[in-house]
Amino acid sequence: MAHRAIKTPSQREGLFSVLSNVDLPFTISWTKGHDRTAAQNRLQWLWAEECARDLGNDDAAGYQAIFKLEIGVPILRAENEEFRHVYDTLIKPASYEEKIKAMRSGMIDVSSRMTKKQMTNYLDRIWAEYTGLGVDLTLPDPEMVWRLKAQGND
């Protein structure tokens, strides 16, 4: 399935043009909001590196896979019917180790499918989980510091 963020009026007009040439019948769906930001993506990788440094047990890619499986998948399953169907059909029956391999390989998109709001929730949950385990995670965004303190996660 095609996936594209539409952020400008000209991109919306381009989408209309593409859709006008699609053979009927077809089904379309969309999600309000926009994709995660580049800064959010960099932050999740930084945190994966910090978890690898502080906890050992795995490398940054391994922690990234754990984040996706244990934190990202529940967010997307709750909010995205298509994702839930694909995940539950193809991945859910697998063992934990096989699921981690699927996350590492990129077999199924998790964080790259998230909206900015979902990614914020994802990062907040990573923060709560891993600072609770004693990992010293970097907080580069002053707004994130305020939000976490308001939630009692300081």
Q: Which amino acid is at 42?
A: R
Q: What is the pLDDT of residues 8-50, one digit of tens each?
A: 788 778 777 888 888 888 777 666 655 556 778 788 899 999 9
Q: Mean of the per-residue pLDDT values for the chain?
A: 83
**pTM of the shown model:** 0.69
What beta strand segments (E) does the chain contain? none
pLDDT of residue 35: 52
Cβ neighbours of residue 63 under 8 Å, at least 6 residues apart?
A: 47, 48, 49, 51, 52, 55
The DSSP H or E segment spanning 124 is helix 116-132
| Confidence band of 114 (pLDDT split at 50, 70, 90) | confident
